[in-house]
Amino acid sequence: MAMTNLKDTAQKLLSFGDITINGDKPWDIKVNNEDLYKRVLSQGSLGLGESYMDGWWEVEKMDEMVSRILSAKIDQKVKRDFSLILELVLAKLFNRQSKSRAYEVGKRHYDAGNDLFKTMLDKTMTYTCGYWKNAQNLDEAQEQKLDLICRKLKLKPGMKILDIGCGWGSLLKYAAEHYGTKGVGITISKEQVALAKENCAGLDIEIRLQDYRDIKEKFDAVASLGMIEHVGYKNYRQYMQIAASCLNDGGLFLLHTIGGKKSVRNTDIWMNKYIFPNGMLPSIKQLGGSIENIFIMEDLHNFGPDYDKTLMAWYNNFNAGWPALKEKYGDRFYRMWKYYLLTCAASFRVRNIQLWQIVLSKGGVPGGYESIR
Q: Among all residues, which ones are annotated catalytic?
A: 344
**Distance (Å, rounded) from C-alpha 354 to C-alpha 300?**
12
Q: How far is CA 98 from CA 234, 239, 289, in A?
A: 9, 12, 20
**Distance (Å, rounded) from C-alpha 293 to C-alpha 296?**
8
The number of C-alpha atoms within 13 Å of 231 and in the hemisphere containing its C-beta is 29
Residue pair 302/368 in contact (Cβ under 8 Å)? The answer is no
Exposed, middle or buried: residue 373 (CB in 10 Å: 0-12, 13-18, 19+)? exposed
**Distance (Å, rounded) from C-alpha 148 to C-alpha 371?**
11
Residue pair 149/143 in contact (Cβ under 8 Å)? The answer is no
Q: How far is CA 37 from CA 14, 49, 343, in A?
A: 11, 13, 19
Q: Residue 251: helix, strand or coil by DSSP?
A: strand
**Distance (Å, rounded) from C-alpha 185 to C-alpha 168?**
9
Exposed, middle or buried: residue 75 (CB in 10 Å: 0-12, 13-18, 19+)? middle
